[in-house]
Amino acid sequence: MKKQPEPVTRENIVSILSSEEAANVGSETTQVQVRTGDEFIDLAEIDKGVQRAAEPQRLRNVLLRSALAPNTWQKIITNLAARRLMALPPPPPPPRH
């Protein structure tokens, strides 16, 4: 039986960050300025994946791509993608001829 992946949580993602990067994460009480076109992950709605800002705004609970080292962002994206793949049902067996 396939093991179900644990859901991705804010804590999972923040644990990947360096202490400097973690200081740049918007919380429930602090806001982060997001510019048009910025990529971010809403830590309150992680299942939405990577989002792109359509307009400048101030948001809470977000992790901006620009606030992270490129390899940290890639680790997070890889983690999210792997958990999504693990959650998919297995493909049906091929037909027998």
With a cut of 70, say whether residue 5 has pLDDT above it. Answer: no
Domain residue spans of the chain: 10-87
The DSSP symbol for 83 reads H
Give the confidence band of 4 by pLDDT, cuts at 50, 70, 90: low
User: Mean pLDDT in the chain?
Assistant: 85
- Residue 20, pLDDT score: 87
Please report the pLDDT score of residue 40 as a whole number.
Answer: 95
Return the sign of the alpha-carbon dihedral for residues 8, 67, 21, 57. Answer: negative
| 24, two tokens | 């740049």
How far lies 77's CA from each of 1, 2, 21, 56, in Å?
A: 26, 22, 16, 23
pLDDT in tens, 20-53: 888 877 677 788 899 999 999 998 899 899 999 9
pTM: 0.77
* d(C-alpha 18, C-alpha 43), whole Å: 17
